[in-house]
Chain A
Amino acid sequence: MAKYLLLKHYRGAPAPVNDVPMDRWTPEEVAAHVQYMVDFAARLEGSGEFVDSQGLSPEGAFVRYGGEGRPPVVDGPFAETKDLIAGWMVIDVESRERAYELAAELSAAPGAGGRPIHEWLEVRPFLAVHSTVFD
Chain B
Amino acid sequence: MNEALLRELVPAVIGVLVRRGAGFAAAEDAVQDALVEAVRADWAEPPRDLKGWLITVAWRKFLDAARAETSRRDRELRAEGEPAPGPAESSDDTLRLYFLCAHPSLTPASAVALTLRAVGGLTTRQIARAYLVPEPTMAQRISRAKRAVAGVRFTRPGDVATVLRVLYLVFNEGYSGDVDLAAEAIRLTRRLAAMTRHEEVAGLLALMLLHHARRPARTTPDGRLVPLAEQDRGRWDTRLIAEGVDVLQAALARDRLGEFQAQAAIAALHADAPTAAETDWVQIVEWYDELVRLTGNPVARLNRAVAVGEAEGARAGLAALAELDPGLPRHTAAAAYLHERAGDPATAARLYAEAARTALSLPERDHLTRQAARLNARPRE
Contact = CB atoms under 8 A, between A and B. Distances in A.
Interface residues of A, number: 22
B21 interface: no
A130 B176 contact: yes
A94 B174 CA distance: 18
Interface string B29-50: 0000000000000000000000
Contacts of A46: 140
Nearest to A2: B360
A40 interface: no
Contacts of A45: 134, 136-137, 140
Contact of A132 (B110, B132, B144, B172): B172
Interface stretch (A11-19, A47-55, A64-72, A115-123): A47-55
Determine the main DSSP class of B at the interface with A: helix
B361 interface: yes
Interface in A1-49: 1, 3, 44-49
Nearest to B302: A134
B225 to A, nearest CB: 6
A128 interface: yes
A129 to B, nearest CB: 6
Nearest to B169: A1
A101 to B, nearest CB: 14
Given A48-B138, A48-B144, A135 B227 contact: yes
Contacts, number: 75
Interface in B216-235: 218, 225, 227-228
Nearest to A50: B137
A51 B174 contact: no
Chief secondary structure at chain A's binding surface: loop
Interface in A45-91: 45-52
Interface in B92-107: 107
Contacts of B133: 50-51, 92
A127 B359 contact: yes
B132 A49 contact: no
Interface string B138-180: 1011101000000000000000000000000000111110000
B331 interface: no
A127 B137 contact: no
A92 B131 contact: yes
B328 interface: no
A95 B132 CA distance: 17
Contacts of B363: 130-131
B77 interface: no
A94 B138 CA distance: 14
Interface string A91-119: 01010000000000000000000000000
A51 B135 CA distance: 9
Contacts of B141: 48
Contacts of A1: 108-109, 131
Nearest to A1: B109
A49 B137 contact: yes
B83 to A, nearest CB: 33
Nearest to B299: A134
A124 B366 CA distance: 19
A50 B139 CA distance: 11
A51 B133 CA distance: 5
B330 interface: yes
A127 B136 contact: no
Nearest to A135: B228
B218 A51 contact: no
Question: Which of A50, A129, A135 has most B Cβ within 10 Å?
Answer: A135
A128 B136 CA distance: 22
Given A45-B137, A49-B137, A92-B131, A127 B360 contact: yes
Given A48-B110, A48-B144, A51-B133, A130 B225 contact: no
15 contacts: A1-B109, A44-B137, A48-B138, A48-B141, A51-B133, A94-B107, A94-B109, A127-B359, A127-B362, A127-B365, A131-B363, A132-B172, A133-B218, A135-B218, A135-B228
Given A3-B132, A48-B109, A127-B362, 12 more contacts: A44-B137, A47-B140, A50-B136, A51-B132, A92-B137, A94-B109, A127-B359, A128-B362, A129-B132, A130-B173, A131-B364, A133-B172
Interface of A: 1, 3, 44-52, 92, 94, 127-135
| Top 7 A-B pairs, shortest CB-CB distance | A48-B141, A135-B228, A128-B361, A130-B174, A131-B361, A131-B363, A48-B140
